[in-house]
Amino acid sequence: MTRVPLFLAVLTTVAFAADKPFAIQVVDEATGRGVPMVELETMDNQLYVTDSAGRVAFNEPGQMNMPVWFSMRSHGYEFPTDGFGMTGQRFTTAPGGNSVVKIKRQNIAERLCRLTGQGIYRDSVLLGEKVPLAEPLTDGGVVGQDSVQAVVYRGRIFWLWGDTMRMSYPLGNFRTSCAWSDLPDKGGLPPEQGVNLHYITDKDGFAKEMCPLEHKEGVVWLFGLAVVRDDKGEERLIAHYSRRGGLDKKFEHGIAVFNDEKEIFERAATLPMNEKWRFPRGRVTPIREGDTDYLYFGDAGPCIRVPARLSDVCDPSKYEAWTYIGATGPRRRADGSLDFAWRKDAPPAESPEEARLVQHHLIKPEECRVMPEDVATHQRIELHEGSVYWNAYRQRWVLIAVQHGGKPSFLGEVWYAESAAPTGPWTHAVKIVTHNQYSFYNPTQHPFFDEDGGRKIYFEGTYSFTFSGRKDRTPHYDYNQILYRLDLSDPRLKPAQE
């Protein structure tokens, strides 16, 4: 047997140890759970961001086996400070060593993990830690994804996103990406660990164009994802499609239906270009009233409905708006109250319109349907996008939406409100997530993730520097989906429950 000289064995051991990163884990002091998306920056401006387990694998040449100061920051959290008021902590970065930092959460909602993009559990993998995802590093070739929608369709969760960025080139898929996953009680992961997504891909392994259409000009966005019944009583997956040249220019729009065999959305009906509201949009809420199943929807809370049948969804004459808008101004009853009703001949009363009516003194702030009062400041909140679902724990309809024109982020302040009806009014709201000049838009709750009889609910949104005014982007996390959990028994939510 050949013996390895002692000095070679020592050198090999030292080299191996030097290759092992120093582990830093940032945890929520209240739960002990790792906090994702915490930024740690060294004195020479090397930036590290915790993965979905709250870990950083540090192995910077020239900065090992010595004290290293890390400045720390993250939206909605407080960090330890020293006697000079410096926010952060100093570690002796021994290879193979580890340290834990406890931070205090200011957000009412708890940040859990990133659901899309590259390197979701990057640092945990580098550290040799066990991770829950089947694809913890790269899935479907996806680097970034915009604006999620998800519904339970034929026993599984069907996921849909907008523009999708790829690893190999600056231009990605701009005609919608989709994936499947299993429900938590049918083989899926607990939502706090993430989601094992099974992307629908092309031959190159990258997320497939899900609404290709024959016209090549423009991007294709799908919103209003929902499940309806066709004339045979079969489930069909539908959405509103819009082929456009950016946010302001639209080439065509209509209703698309999912072809289960081809795994693409196909045009089912084309709508007039001047049709502004008679089509599914935002996040759809299925509601049964009497003997009729409806789809309810709207930008910041349901205010439009249509029977949940494929033929009706394709027929603009079947849509109704919950509104008081009249030809010459707000309609009022004999007692002076706003005359809300389901109407086919008038547009819905949504947050931007209500903001305009308040500005022109045509309605009072307290009459607004979707401009709730901030319980802390008593200021009115103009909501932008969100979702509404029935909550069994609260026995109320729950709204989670982002504010338009908020502070400290223009499109990143997320609010919670409740109402006895899916159409509101939403009178009071509590802020549950804040961002420091960073966007978190198009948030949506996932009711299929509800736990403890609805006491714990889950929502996600698009984390992006777009619309924020910032030029720097958070590595790994920018333009991706971040999942949060909200405990509805939290006493800080009580003002919105009254």
pLDDT, tens digit, for every residue of 85-118?
889 999 999 999 999 999 999 999 999 999 999 9
The residues near 385 (Cβ < 8 Å, ≥ 6 apart) are 282, 299, 300, 401, 402, 441, 442, 443
CATH 2.60.40.1120 boundaries in the chain = 21-126
- In this predicted structure, the answer to whether residue 428 has a pLDDT above a threshold of 80 is yes
Name the average pLDDT for the chain.
94
472: exposed, middle or buried (Cβ count in 10 Å: 0-12, 13-18, 19+): exposed
Output the pTM of the full model: 0.94
In this prediction, residues 278-296 reach a mean pLDDT of: 96
Strands (DSSP E) found in 6-63: 22-28, 39-41, 47-49, 55-58
Predicted pLDDT of residue 13: 42
- In this predicted structure, the answer to whether residue 49 has a pLDDT above a threshold of 90 is yes
273: exposed, middle or buried (Cβ count in 10 Å: 0-12, 13-18, 19+): exposed
Distance between CA atoms of residues 241 and 255, nearest Å: 6
In this prediction, residues 154-171 reach a mean pLDDT of: 95
Question: Could you give the C-alpha distances from 110 to 145, 389, 391, 483, in angstroms and in order?
Answer: 21, 19, 19, 9
Radius of gyration (C-alpha) of the chain in whole angstroms: 25
Residue type at position 138? T
Predicted pLDDT of residue 418: 97
45: β partners: none
Question: For residue range 210-247, what is the model confidence (pLDDT) as tens digits?
Answer: 999 998 899 999 999 999 999 999 999 999 999 998 77
Question: Could you give the C-alpha distances from 124 to 7, 16, 36, 127, 195, in angstroms and in order?
Answer: 32, 18, 12, 5, 17
Instruction: Say what percent of the chain tops pLDDT 90.
Output: 88
Q: What angle do CA 191, 197, 200 make, to 5 degrees?
A: 155
Residue type at position 378? H
User: Measuring CA to CA, which residue among 345, 342, 346, 343 is closest to residue 325?
Assistant: 346
CB 138 within 8 A of CB 114: no
User: Measuring CA to CA, which residue among 460, 457, 455 is closest to residue 433?
Assistant: 460
Instruction: Say what percent of the chain tops pLDDT 70.
Output: 96
**Higher-confidence position of 429 and 85:** 429
Decide the pairing of beta strands 219-229 and 164-166. Answer: unpaired
Distance between CA atoms of residues 194 and 189, nearest Å: 7
Question: For residue range 126-135, what is the model confidence (pLDDT) as tens digits?
Answer: 999 999 999 9
Distance between CA atoms of residues 70 and 80, nearest Å: 11
Half-sphere exposure of 329 (CA within 13 A, CB side): 7
Q: Residue 348: helix, strand or coil by DSSP?
A: coil
Predicted pLDDT of residue 6: 44
Q: Specify the CATH superfamily of domain 21-126.
A: Carboxypeptidase-like, regulatory domain (2.60.40.1120)
User: Measuring CA to CA, which residue among 115, 157, 156 is closest to residue 136?
Assistant: 115
Predicted pLDDT of residue 458: 98
Distance between CA atoms of residues 65 and 75, nearest Å: 30
Predicted pLDDT of residue 74: 97
Distance between CA atoms of residues 297 and 279, nearest Å: 9
Question: For residue range 358-367, what is the model confidence (pLDDT) as tens digits?
Answer: 999 999 999 9
- In this predicted structure, the answer to whether residue 53 has a pLDDT above a threshold of 60 is yes
**DSSP assignment of 206-271:** SBPPSS--S--SSEEEEEEEEEEE-TTS-EEEEEEEEEESSSS-EEEEEEEEEETTTTEEEEEEEP
Of the pLDDT bands very low, low, confident and very high (cuts 50, 70, 90), residue 498 is: low
461: β partners: 482
Distance between CA atoms of residues 370 and 302, nearest Å: 10
Cα 334 to the chain's mean position, in Å?
A: 43
